[in-house]
Amino acid sequence: MKVYLFIILNILFAFITCLNEDIVDMEIKYKIINYPLSSSNSNEDTFEPNLKLSEENAIIELESDFIITQISWTKKDSYKYNYLLGVFEGSNDPSFEQGIPIAIIKEKDDLDSINYLNIESPCSFKYLRYIPPNKNNTQIFPLKLYGHQKLITENLEDKKLFQATNLPLLLIHTQNSTEPGNDDKDVNCTITIINNGTIENFETAEIKVRGMSSSFAPKKPYRIKFSSKQKILNIKGKEKKWVLLANYYDRSLLRNVLAFKISELMNFSFTPRCQPVDVMMNGNFRGNYYICDKIDVISKNRIQIEELQMTDNSWPNVTGGYFLQIDARAGFGWGRPADTVDNFIFVTDKGIRGQIVLPKKDELTEEQEKYIKDKLNQFEDEIYNGTLDSIDLESYSKFFLVEEFCADPDHVYSSLYFTKDRNDDKFRFGPVWDFDLALDNDRRLIPTNEKPEFSFNYGSSSGTFKDLVKVLLANREAIEYIYDTWSNLCSTVLNETVLVEFLEEKKLILKESSELNFLKWDHYVEEGGWGRGWGFGFGRNGEDFETSVEVVKDYVHKRFDSLTNLLQNAVSLAN
């Protein structure tokens, strides 16, 4: 009995000692392996504290699970873009398909100097990897790791998961680290969103490159399709499909969201909702993005029209709903499988080109195709004949004003969306979309506020759609309705103060993220790559993020008066 009591007392003493034990960090031994794991891995049973990390697929296996608290490393490359924004990522699986970043290199240091990264993370890991900003360079060594094994009594509640900046961090880990390409193919992945130091979403999904001209930029935009509907950050409602807007051509990072803000102030039935995030893909830092509504979705939070079934082939069901787009590029693909391969392409009798976005081509019946094509030709004929029975002037007026206020170069060319709902004789316009080249960011339109005509006159057109808009603006009823809508908006909800305050608010939110974003992408400017390959080029951007925001503010300041003058002149010339 005494022996048992002695053992119990010793166990209690050991437990009390553990409760009072200070956490002591130690240098962590590790070995470098290659993934996928193979018999070629060297030093299978040898863990060392100080090794060279210089191979692209190198994985660090720790001798046990550790909470890492500090990393020291030495830069062995003088070219800053080969190490700035390099990421250290931890995992308990060598595939890293559920990896969690723990640090990012933000500072430029001297060659061969020892650099330290202090880590605060509640997670212990068996594996660590370094992901360089450029794929082919991992020259950091010697690499030293410090930390401790997790204690039962250790309080980790005050420690938060790593985020690169003040913004939420969206992590994408694709299957086998496959990079989505310009082939319109989905890649399986997991999506993790870290916000306020905790995981808000961890879901399986599919991802692919989206967009047309923007898909050719080094910084790709993406479409995400979750396996089930998800609520994202503070965006209302759950949806399966979302997009990541890259804003590569816009150094203010704010042109799209400013246009959406104007749409919101105008009370469109649906305005795309966005939240800024930092994005990492397979551990590689990709910069600032906006996660945003995918607009071609029928739901109570997005496009609110009847959803056509393949059995809806007679009156009145065949009358809607249809989601349509004017798009000169429809069906051409621009050197890659187009997003329009699933959509039916139409060309009106007078030559306007576009696509039926919903229903999809393989769900569109012959009866539905005939109905909507006839209705589009009727709409076109009525405009040319001076009647407005098939156009909803309220939605078109607001749509025209957003496009013209922002001087969207694609106003009559592409990304012009409208709907035809069931039992509704009118086409209704919106949502607005795609403004990264707007607000004086396209050389064809610059300087917008000094041009003698509406900005759509200086951009390209989808067939004869530019001509149709000119005819519509020459109609006195239409242009007076547009002008009255503008006057009412300016006297109530829309003014320079509101928009400038919005820009200032967003500038403060994005400041930290923008610094890392342009560490990642500004060398395309320095090396002659910003917007290269596009004949019309890009327009007014400042030398950095903050001066680019000032450029947009200056444009806003001038646009109220210049657009008012153009509208007044159009009213005076109308029939």
- pLDDT tens digits for range 98-155: 899 999 999 876 667 788 899 988 899 999 998 888 765 656 767 899 999 987 555 5
Is the bond into 447 cis (omega within 30 degrees of 0)? yes
Rounded Cα distance, 522 and 514, in Å: 11
- pTM for the whole structure: 0.90
Q: pLDDT tens digit string along 298-311?
A: 999 999 999 999 99
Contact present, 337 and 183 (Cβ < 8 Å): yes
**What average pLDDT score do residues 230-257 get?**
95
- Pick the range with the lowest mean pLDDT from 139-148, 331-340, 514-523: 331-340
Distances (CA, A) of 8 to 15, 136, 153: 11, 57, 20
- pLDDT at position 132: 85
Q: Of 420, 411, 426, 427, which is closest to residue 465 (Cα–Cα)? A: 411
| Cβ atoms 124, 150 nearer than 8 A | yes
User: Number of helices (H) and strands (E), helices first, in the chain?
Assistant: 9, 21
Give the integer Cα–Cα distance in Å for 123 and 106.
22
Contact assessment for residue 190 and residue 98, using Cβ atoms and an 8 Å cutoff? yes
Could you say which DSSP state residue 360 is in?
A: -
- The CA distance from 517 to 498, in Å, is 27
Burial class (CB in 10 A: 0-12, 13-18, 19+), 264: middle
Instruction: Summarize pLDDT for 367-406 with one digit per residue, the tens.
Output: 999 999 999 999 999 999 999 999 999 999 999 999 999 9
| pLDDT digit string, tens, across residues 198-240 | 999 999 999 999 987 788 889 999 999 999 999 999 999 999 9
Predicted confidence (pLDDT) at residue 2 exceeds the cutoff of 50: no
Scan for tokens 């002037």, then name that residue. Answer: 393
- Provide the 10 A C-beta neighbour count for residue 313: 15
pLDDT for position 523? 54
Radius of gyration, alpha carbons of the chain: 28
Task: Name the token pair of 32.
Answer: 């470098």
- Report the pLDDT value the prediction gives residue 344, as an integer from 0 to 100: 85
Of the candidates 273, 254, 261, 271, the one whose C-alpha atom is nearest the C-alpha of residue 494 is 261
Spatial distance between the Cα atoms of 529 and 240, rounded to a whole number of angstroms: 35
Given a cut of 90, whether residue 50 has pLDDT beyond it is no
CB distance 57 to 176 below 8 Å: no
